[in-house]
Amino acid sequence: MSMGRILYRTTTRAAQPLLGSLLRRRAKRGKENADRIPERFARSDVDLTPAHLVWMHGASIGETRLLLELAENLGASNPDLHFLFTSQTQTAAELINRRMATSDVLAGRSRYQVAPLDTPDIAARFLDIWQPILCVFAEGEIWPNIVLEASNRQIPLALINARMTAKSFKGWNSWQGFANEVFSSFNTIIAADRQTADGLGKLTNSAVPCPGSLKLSLSVSQVSEADAQTIRSAFVGGRRCLVAVSTHEDEEAWILDAVEGLEPRPALVIIPRHPERREAIIDLLETRGVSYSVRSREETPETGHDVLLCDTLGEVILFASVADSVYLGGGHAEGVGGHNPVEILRIGRPVFTGPHIHNFSDLAATLEGDPGFQIVADYDALRRAFPLLEGFEGFEGFEAFAGFEGFARSTR
């Protein structure tokens, strides 16, 4: 056992008595669901754990969408499988619960829990309760205690669409023995970009495949033309329309400033990455003196309103479909690293985003020069290009991986 592993286990075990107080404080700030705090300690009301259970974990919405589609593909070809989904964010929880209720494959075969904390005792208790036959982690979620405990029990582990930053690798490289123990525990690792593949290859002393982002294999949501026309008639009217998707703190102010310089002023739809930020955004709109309506309040928008705040889940593609262009958040926010533009490009809408997109540097390089994707460092750059990027006729996407069935075969 490496010194890094000993230190990590000792530190997380010592911290466990303090975690309850920390989570209760987070709940007061709306960052935790107070009713589900016991699940963080792997203490849940589970009367029967289904056999043939696949555990899938993703931190937030992007990873969750990937895992949900993967589960549907696995479940369709393996009728005996059941699924447990976990996440860190409440928005991801809402997405999972809605999909479980509506999916023909997942309904009755899947459950949701808040992700457990990564201490030795909680990790062991979680695996004792659920007894998964396969653990699937998405992107950058690495929990050493749970990974190593599952490996000790000979439970197969997969890390899919792995993405790690240079800063993360610098930290792991400081504890190479520990890093090798953790990452070598995975039976399957699929990297989303070359930086991650090279870094994990060095940590595991083995080649890591890099087929590209699995998110490129996600299906595109279907939009009701009747619903889209309702939005055009009620809010957009005869104006151009800019939809700001997955915005973070300060990005709503950025896009409002950018729109101020556009004549005529377009209809602006704001879809925050985290809908629980709605009150802060409403305060911003009122301070700016712009007229607005709020989707979750079921307020009827008007063609005279400046902004429609869409603080509901699952409607990104609906609103993007009525846009002339889409501003994709995460590229002007500190420490976020950008969001994936492919789904929006696939429905034929050009995308603007900010320059800080290190999480998608490989994809951005692939899209460089494409008239449907433009990085805008300042307001003037967006204003010059809006409403339509000349020459953009849609985006067909590209094959980055042999589909989800390829992964299913690799884990059997």
Q: Are residues 75 and 160 in the same domain?
A: yes
Q: Within 10 A of 5 (CB to CB), how many other CB atoms are there?
A: 18
Q: Are residues 104 and 175 in the same domain?
A: yes
Average pLDDT over residues 336-353: 89
What's residue 400's pLDDT?
A: 38
Q: Are residues 16 and 146 in the same domain?
A: yes
Evaluate whether 196 touches 214 at the Cβ level (below 8 Å): no
What's residue 308's pLDDT?
A: 97
Q: Of 159, 184, 210, which residue sits at a domain end?
A: 210
Q: Please write the tens of the pLDDT for every residue from 279-314.
A: 999 999 999 999 999 999 999 899 989 999 999 888
Q: Are residues 233 and 377 in the same domain?
A: yes
Evaluate whether 275 touches 248 at the Cβ level (below 8 Å): no
What's residue 398's pLDDT?
A: 41
Q: Are residues 118 and 251 in the same domain?
A: no
Largest Cα–Cα distance of the chain, in whole Å? Answer: 67
Q: Are residues 158 and 250 in the same domain?
A: no
In a domain, 392, yes or no: no
Q: Please write the tens of the pLDDT for every residue from 356-382.
A: 998 787 788 888 888 889 999 999 999
In a domain, 400, yes or no: no
In a domain, 219, yes or no: no
3-state secondary structure of 290: coil
CATH for 74: 3.40.50.11720
Average pLDDT over residues 328-356: 91
What residues have CB less than 8 Å from 412, skipping those under 6 apart? Answer: none
Q: Please write the tens of the pLDDT for every residue from 126-180.
A: 999 999 999 999 988 899 999 999 999 999 999 999 988 888 899 999 999 999 9
Residue 32 reports pLDDT greater than 90: no
**C-alpha–C-alpha distance, residues 158 and 144, integer Å:** 14
Q: Are residues 8 and 90 in the same domain?
A: yes
**C-alpha–C-alpha distance, residues 34 and 92, integer Å:** 16
Q: Are residues 176 and 274 in the same domain?
A: no
pTM passes above 0.95: no
What phi and psi values does residue 209 have, to the nearest 5 degrees?
-65, 145
What's residue 407's pLDDT?
A: 45
Q: Please write the tens of the pLDDT for every residue from 213-264.
A: 887 777 777 888 999 999 999 999 999 999 999 999 999 999 999 999 898 9
Domain count, the chain: 2
Give the distance, in angstroms, between the CA of residue 299 and the centroid of all CA atoms in the same chain. 28
In a domain, 402, yes or no: no
What's residue 363's pLDDT?
A: 80
CATH for 291: 3.40.50.2000
Residue 402 reports pLDDT greater than 90: no
* Tokens 């997405």 -> residue: 95
Q: Are residues 138 and 246 in the same domain?
A: no
Evaluate whether 238 touches 266 at the Cβ level (below 8 Å): no
In a domain, 256, yes or no: yes
